[in-house]
Every structure is written in C-alpha cells, then in structure tokens.
Amino acid sequence: MKTTRVFFYILLSLVSLAYLFAGGTKAFAFPEAIALNSTLHIQKWFIRLIGLFELLGAVGLWLPRFRTTACVCLSIIMVGAIGCHVGANQLPNIGPATLLFFLLGGVILLDPHHKITLQPLK
C-alpha cells in the first residue's frame, strides 16, 4: 500500500511538472511554443488560453478535491491536441499528448483519495 502511494506521488509530480512546463511556455507566449503550435493553424490567443488551462490543471492535480476534475479536463485537452496533430498530418507529434493522456488515467486510478474498484464480469 505504501509503495502504491509513493508511486502515485512520483507520477503526480511528473505529470504536474510536464503540464507546468508545457502550459507555462504556451501561457507566457514563449516564441518556441508559439512557433511549434502555429503549425497547427491555431490562433495565438487560443494557444495562450490552452496554456492557462494547463497551468490551472497542474495546480488542480495537487488539490485532492479537484484532482479528478483536473484529470478529466486535462484529458479533454490532450484528446484535442491529438486531434489537432492528426488533422495537421503531424502523426509523429502525437506521442507526448498520448503519453500524458494515459498518465492522467494512471493518476485517477492510483489516487488514494478516490478509490475506483473494478468489478469482475459475471
């Protein structure tokens, strides 16, 4: 049980750091982030808005009351990111969004404050 909790907090730390970095570069309009996302034909203001949502999600991941909501909202953003990359024919670039999508699922499943139990099929 204790190793699961340690693994959960390591996973939570990595995921939240990824969103702090990705969201911060977008929200504060770092030229590299804007140039990378402009190839998806997304307006600069929308890129900054997505970055702000990613920053809020990174903070929400650490608040047990909002953790599940933050995971669901960030997962929706990742599905949108995957869709944008597929739509722009940039299939090699869907890796980070796909990885973060699955890691968010791991955060939900390992969260000690919200137990999700799997029932066997009858």
pTM: 0.87
| For the chain, counts of helices (H) and of strands (E) | 5, 0
* Joined tokens for residue 21: 């970095």
Q: Which has the closest alpha carbon to 86: 103, 98, 99? A: 98
**Burial (CB count <10 Å: 0-12, 13-18, 19+), residue 2:** exposed
The pLDDT tens digits for 6-58 are 999 999 999 999 999 999 998 898 888 777 777 888 888 998 999 999 999 99
How does DSSP classify residue 76? H
Q: 22: helix, coil or strand? A: helix
